[in-house]
Amino acid sequence: MSIELRAITKSFGEVTVVRGIDLRIATGELCVLLGPSGSGKSTLLRVIAGLEEPDSGSVLLHGEDVTRGDPRRRGIGFVFQHYALFRHLTVAENVEFPLRVQKVPGPQRRARREELLELVGLVGYGGRRPGQLSGGQQQRVALARALAGSPRVLLLDEPFGALDARIRVELRHAIRRIHRELGITTVFVTHDQEEAFALADRLAVLADGRLLEVGAPSDLYLHPRQERVATFLGDANVLVGEASERGVRLGGVELPLGVTAEATPGGRVRVVFRPEDVQLGAASTGAAQLGLATVEEATFAGSFERLRLRLPTPPGVRGVAPPAPFGSAFVWLDAIRPQPDARRLPLQSGDEVQVAVRRVHVLSSAALRLLVLGSDDPPGPAAALAAALAERTPTTVSRAGATPPPDGWDLALFDLLPEGAPPRHLPGPEVDHLLFVTPGAALPRRILVCIAVGEPGKEDVSLAERLAWRLAAHVTVLTVLPGPPQEPPPHVRRFLDAAARALGRRGVEVTTRVRHGAPRREILSEVTEGRHDLLVTGAPVPPRGQPFGLHGLVERILAAPPCPVLVVRAMHPTSVPAADVEEPARSGR
Amino acid sequence: MRRRHNAVPGFALTFGATMLYLSLVVLIPLAAMLLRAASTGPHELFSAIANRRALAAFGLSFGGALLAAAIAAVGGSIAAWVLVRYDFPGRKLFDALVDLPFAMPTAVSGIALATLLAPQGWVGRALLPLGWKLAYTRGGVIVAMVLVSLPFIIRTLQPALADLPLDVEEAAATLGSGRLRTVATIVAPQLLPALGSGFALAFARAVGEYGSVIFIAGNLPGKTEIVPLLIVVELEQYDYAAATALGAAMLAASFAVLLCIHLLPRWMSRRRLAQAGG
């Protein structure tokens, strides 16, 4: 084992960038760390290099613990995004630098330099200055320099980030070739999914400082466990359906597939299928028919055609990705097909076509998951409510003390009884939503959803929909406008109508309300007047790079909560719903 | 010459304006002085410069200015490094204070230095038991020169340091280079051009400094007297010939030193390139 990372954690000030990552990279392997910006992948690489010291955890290189060690003695080569060449030295001097440090005698040094310039395809450039080379050439010099000292591990930090698309592809081939020739253990950091596929022996997907999944690129693409991995690696259609005896039920269609053990028949399961698995046109054997869809958009993409389809939502199905417009009665599906197929069955916007799916893959549980924080001895209201919820809904309930919650939690419950105030320890970004429970809380029968008009509001409604449907509760959607009473502006009206439609779709009883005045006072009055027993509200969106916190209106409501409060956090950046409010006129189509 | 669209009108016009400006402000006054010096006989010229008092003044002016610029280069580099690389409370204030010697009449800083360094002053009193005496000595002259030339070093180094990417130093570390080697072979050479022009500016300012030096120097002929003061002394005795002779000599010497400072790094890098060309 060349590189072994054990429970690496690293914070910069308030912000934790790497959260307990374990990773082992075999000798001679080319491992790609893939993740969106801010996922902690570069920091992890710098920890391996010794340029950052982890707050906890250990780094082993070739079996030796180097956690606190000097980067100089690690035997690594590091390639930076912006080349980091010594601009006052020539190409030859740059490449010879590590050899001079190692006190390699002149003739050997020059021979080694020529060997490396040949390896990266820059023979004859030795006398030039970095400033006289193109970006791609500079990065080749940086690569030769990193390899000159014969390191045992090569680390590359988004090395092609600043380069043109064509040069990136060319350098990708160069990296693969060099890796094949030298057999050096290589770790490559990128946010480019295509680059990751092209390079990796093994792929590690990171998000929010956590390692989501590790595996061969094809494996992660075809059999991801988590929705975030599925949607980050290529385009994905994600639907929530129901587990059946033989497979997955999506509305009236049963897909005879192996279902993972965690889904019991009747339980909700999340399935993913890739655009290339969508089959258009006449029914054929082996593909499950989803129904008749309308072509929203068909675009030419070189060797294939890309389509977006609008499929009327089958009963009991929820669309997750690509995110359909708020309050719409359909799901969107992405499809691609080779050009010969496109010529055989030409389709354009507005056409209707039979849609089938060749292959679906089941993701891990789609159930609402609750995390109870705090001790359960004696059981407080949070634990009692969690148990009641678990009984009534397909909800997984887990208890956690002060330890960080396990991956992928949807909901965390906070007991307001012991402290009487929101606890200081809030779960990290792996928890989506927080439920604060007051003493004497029972299963909610009347839910009040307070929304600001806009994206976060849609998330509030969507979660309330899932809860209310399970609990057969009544929902009131409330918006508070500043100033004296007046007719609400049309976009507010439209938004409330869309919210009512979104909830009504599942048969949830809905009322919409508009109040005027100070938000906190109006919300509290509505809770009392409407005898509501659960308040759903959006969390403030933290500024980029800042941790998730509770401030403003939410903080003031939590200071003296009138009933249990569910704080809904906007979804992860990787799955932000991009669609707008659906116009009523169009949805009637 | 490239012809590209440029907001400022034609080369001929701007070049003409530049030359006119330079002539009026720099060349004509200097030429007048040189002409005046040339009109005096060579013997007279020689005797005005080649006497003990004048040579001592030249030695102090140029030797002192070079030493002061060197001291300022070291101190200024450290200050610039701190201001660019670290964030600490009061950094902005500290940064603004750097410019203060620019804005102060030099006589004010001279008086301030004299009161500080005098045997009764705060610093002078503290240095006395050590046997160090700065007021009215050559040491005092250099202290004054360092004070006025320091901002030039800091202000020329700051942008160069800010342009120096951190990842270059990290790269050196991953390649096995220790701190000392990184500073000597990576950081310092990249700062050398900026440091060179900063040094030249600092030297020029120190050589020309008059106001702050005369208060602290004591102005003992042959000992703590600088050339600018000597010129004033000659002028006060209506010896215009000697004054212009000294002025011309100073001009020539300053020009020679500045030329050397500018050419040295270029020559050094050319020699290094020739060595590396193998």
Mean pLDDT value of segment B150-173:
91
pLDDT higher than threshold 60 for residue B132: yes
How far does the CA of residue A3 sit from the closest CA of chain B (Å)? 16
Residue A581 is predicted with a pLDDT of 35
User: Could you tell me which residue, B6 or B253, shows the higher pLDDT?
Assistant: B253
Helix, strand or coil for residue A86?
Answer: coil
Interface membership of B29 toward A (CB under 8 Å): no
pLDDT single digits (tens) B189-205: 888 888 988 999 999 98
3-state secondary structure chain B: CCCCCCCCCCHHHHHHHHHHHHHHHHHHHHHHHHHHHHHCCHHHHHHHHCCHHHHHHHHHHHHHHHHHHHHHHHHHHHHHHHHHHCCCCCHHHHHHHCCHHHHCCHHHHHHHHHHHHCCCCHHHHHHHHHCCCCCCCHHHHHHHHHHHHHHHHHHHHHHHHHHCCHHHHHHHHHCCCCHHHHHHHHHHHHHHHHHHHHHHHHHHHHHHCCHHHHHHHCCCCCCCCCHHHHHHHHHHCCCHHHHHHHHHHHHHHHHHHHHHHHHHHHHHHHHHHHHHCC
Interface membership of A97 toward B (CB under 8 Å): yes
Interface membership of A104 toward B (CB under 8 Å): no
User: In A, which residues are within 8 Å of B174 by CB distance?
Assistant: 49-51, 71-72, 74, 76-78, 146
How far does the CA of residue A374 sit from the closest CA of chain B (Å)? 40
Task: Report phi then psi at A208, rounded to 5.
Answer: 50, 40
Structure tokens at B36: 């005046």
User: In B, which residues are within 8 Å of A71 by CB distance?
Assistant: 170, 173-174
Contact B176 A92 (CB under 8 A): no
B186 within 8 A of B152, measured Cβ to Cβ? no
Residues 130 through 159 of chain B touching chain A, CB cutoff 8 Å: none
How far does the CA of residue B256 sit from the closest CA of chain A (Å)? 27
* Closest chain B residue by Cα to residue A96: B175
Residue A548 is predicted with a pLDDT of 63
Task: Report phi then psi at A435, rounded to 5.
Answer: -115, 115
CATH, range B51-277: 1.10.3720.10
Residues 58 through 87 of chain A touching chain B, CB cutoff 8 Å: 70-74, 76-78, 80, 82, 84-87
User: In A, which residues are within 8 Å of B176 by CB distance?
Assistant: 72-73, 98, 101-102, 149
Interface membership of A510 toward B (CB under 8 Å): no
pTM of this prediction? 0.77
Domain boundaries, chain B: 1-39, 51-277
Interface test with B, best of A80, A94, A141 (most B CBs within 10 A): A80
3-state secondary structure A438-480: CCCCCCCCEEEEECCCCHHHHHHHHHHHHHHHHHCCEEEEEEE
User: In B, which residues are within 8 Å of A13 by CB distance?
Assistant: none
Task: Tally Cβ neighbours within 10 Å of residue B162.
Answer: 12
Interface test with B, best of A87, A94, A113 (most B CBs within 10 A): A87
* Distance from C-alpha of A443 to C-alpha of A533, rounded to nearest angstrom: 8
How far does the CA of residue A88 sit from the closest CA of chain B (Å)? 6
Residue A5 is predicted with a pLDDT of 94
Amino acid (one-letter) located at A345: L
Calculated CA dihedral for residues A336, A342, A345, A351, nearest 10 degrees: 60
Contact A88 B168 (CB under 8 A): no
Of A51, A77, A102, the CB nearest to B170: A51
User: In B, which residues are within 8 Å of A93 by CB distance?
Assistant: 276
User: In A, which residues are within 8 Å of B278 by CB distance?
Assistant: 110
Structure tokens at A324: 């359909």
User: In A, which residues are within 8 Å of B167 by CB distance?
Assistant: 80, 82, 84
Q: What is the pLDDT along chain A (589 residues), one digit of tens a residue?
A: 789 999 999 988 877 889 889 999 999 999 999 998 888 999 999 999 999 999 999 999 998 999 988 888 888 999 999 999 998 899 999 999 999 999 999 899 999 999 999 999 999 999 999 999 999 999 999 999 999 999 999 999 999 988 888 889 999 999 999 999 999 999 999 999 999 999 999 999 998 888 989 999 999 999 898 888 998 898 899 988 887 777 788 887 877 765 454 556 667 788 899 999 998 887 666 677 888 899 999 999 888 999 999 999 888 788 888 887 777 788 999 999 999 988 888 898 999 999 988 888 888 765 667 776 655 555 677 777 777 777 776 666 666 544 555 555 677 777 775 555 555 556 666 667 888 888 777 888 899 988 866 556 777 787 888 788 878 889 998 888 888 888 888 888 888 888 888 887 777 888 988 888 888 888 889 999 989 989 988 876 666 556 566 777 887 888 888 888 888 876 544 333 333 333 333 333 3
Interface membership of A188 toward B (CB under 8 Å): no
Contact B176 A98 (CB under 8 A): yes
Residue A208 is predicted with a pLDDT of 82
Contact B176 A85 (CB under 8 A): no
Residue A377 is predicted with a pLDDT of 52
